[in-house]
Amino acid sequence: MGWAIETEPARRRGPPRVATRLGAPAPRAPAGGRGVRRRVKRVSAPRRRGTPSAARRHRCAWASREPLLSYHDSEWGQPVHDDRLLFEFLILEGMQAGLSWETVLRKRDAFRRAFVNFNPARVANFTSKDVTRLMNDEAIIRNRAKIDAAIGNAKALAVLQKESGSFDRYVWEFDDKDALSKDLKKRGFRFVGPTIVESFMQAVGIRNDHERGCYRRAELTRARATRPAR
């Protein structure tokens, strides 16, 4: 996700209601007299057993409205193994510090434009002109410390990738937020305290912290069980 706690498929339309005698013509009045009004009983076709409608699914309590709901259903907790996307989540989690995750989600497209789709190699080469550009961009969170940290983290990531092969391989070796936070700080990353790192681990699926009873928790648990060893 997006915050240290601990965003829907199309709604299935019900089958049409049909008459008891499928395809039977409506009764007509007898010839030469007034017709007798008859009631034709209408019943619903039997419901199919299947996936419950999206509206009835039980979700984590925080996923109560958009864009949080869509993020919860399609991204939060889904295992991420792409270095670019991992970098994006790390930076966005840092940007969220002191704010709400909903605020970050609403600015996400603007962040992607401002940070060249979170391409770490390009962000690492940002200059003072880029910093000025970002500080003047009203569509993003204009916090100098967070912007400087994002650029510095891109540079630290380049070194880490050379040492570990990939950011993916590195972060998935950790299952403890304090250990990952400590190691990232040692490598020169900023805005990676335990709370931010915990949110990062939840968002990218290192931890499955969907609430018990949430349908996504069960889905992700099954996916983990059937995923081949990496």
CATH of domain 80-220: 1.10.340.30
Task: Tell me the catalytic residues.
Answer: 71, 93, 101
Q: Which two tokens stand for residue 187?
A: 């490598």
CA dist 118 and 123 (Å) reads: 7
Residue type, 161: Q
List, for residues 78-125, the tens digit of each pLDDT value. 999 999 999 999 999 999 999 999 999 999 999 999 999 999 999 999
The 10s digit of each residue's pLDDT in 134-147 is 999 999 999 999 99
Question: Would the pLDDT of 30 be above 90?
Answer: no
Instruction: Give the mean pLDDT of 192-216.
Output: 97
Q: Which residues contact 36 (CB under 8 A, 6 or more apart)?
A: 29, 30
Q: What confidence score (pLDDT) does residue 224 get?
A: 80
pLDDT grade for 187, boundaries at 50, 70 and 90: very high
Q: Give, for 90, the enclosing helix (H) or strand (E).
A: helix 83-96
